[in-house]
Structure 1
């Protein structure tokens, strides 16, 4: 298998009248440093993509089919599963194509489009995880008012708000990233167009742009995470006051699955986005990106099904019906 070779002076750049070399196309290096594993990675990620589609798809279907799951918590879980399918579909199919063709050429427009959708869906995931934490807070800390506070109309508004609130900001952030002068290199040492590796390419002073990235990282990552921590601190305090061990065990099992997803997603994403200037551990950055772009969507259906008795029972009823079709 041949390793990828790039000739940016001939294929992916153009010379302007002022003799500046301007990038007109990027090259995603992906996993080019391990060419012998390309086909292994292609097979592995293909299976992972199918697992994500099937696992999260089944959660969406059983929520709609089973009457026992027609509650706000499972409404949010099914929406989260749909989000995970969209989230992984922005990056993984493109990576599979690059592994298959052994090329990583991507136009500026395609790169900007991928980044924009990725940022919008990432922001949506942050807010939706916070909404799910709020749902658990109301259910455990204020159960008598839960049906009123978390009515169907409120749940729909919370989900729609999670999807919409980040759109204008992330579109603007994508525009400001791609307005930078990419005149030194066209090679992105990543498997998709993400902000941290993109900020290593521009020439000139990009201090203001980096500050904008930090501000938005705080707004869309840190603030929802702090809300989640605040909700769960109240939840844990309430659970510990429950009189019976059975009630405490059930409450902890309900919340544990959500907390696992939260720490997997927020932990890896925070390290990547708050360390945009590091060039020493780019391989580690790619591994962290695999966590919040691919592995979290894989773990989502597993955690929410294996750690949840209601979902397990619904699966036992639903799978025979599905296989009989």
Structure 2
């Protein structure tokens, strides 16, 4: 089933979202997840797109149904943290929502749209940052600017929470359960949105959790720079040292053996050196002379013993 190409979401999905309530919320959430599992990436994007479209984020007093729909959306956004295609999934769905509602949104509402989505869905700070980072790749410049404005505050709050700054709890950040791939993605973007001091504090904390000997390969350049490759594997480093020692020992033995060579060998060596001093031009001329002489001799012999008729 090509869900992505349908102009409207499948009836199953529309009915689940439309009729969600407090009693069937968990069952509805499970059925949406099963729908995505059965139909793959296209269903994942279609679900996100429909959930975004079904909610009016600028409504100051959302109904209970809208709040539950937003909670469903929050669950799907949290699930994107485990997806390798979270950037394209979120951009596809959110761009579609923005394209449908762009005409009715004021510039101020557009600027606050990402913040409204985060507040209404109740996603944690990590998911908020990942959502905003994904939207920085949107095809709409207004959304990209809104996402960057949101990130300047949210990433700082995320790191402060993780580091325990300002009496905040690290458990609320969500960084404890972040995947290695997602952490790498976050590290690529940090310098744009946080101060150098906060960035360094975060790296120090990560180095405590990922010692040099056990740091994942994709995180090593961010935490330890280019020196990690030579020292991250102590077994290989020790082997290199052993090889160097063995090579030095072998060199010493060769030098000792060379110093005890007999005089006759030395004489031969001198003769070889003298031979090497003969110019290449002289050798070439000598060989040419020999070849020419042989050819002339052959022709003369042919003339003597096989006269022309």
TM-score (norm 1): 0.23
Greater gyration radius? 2
Higher strand share: 1
Greater RCO structure (CA 8 Å; 6+ sep): 1
TM-score of the aligned structures, taking structure 2 as reference length:
0.24
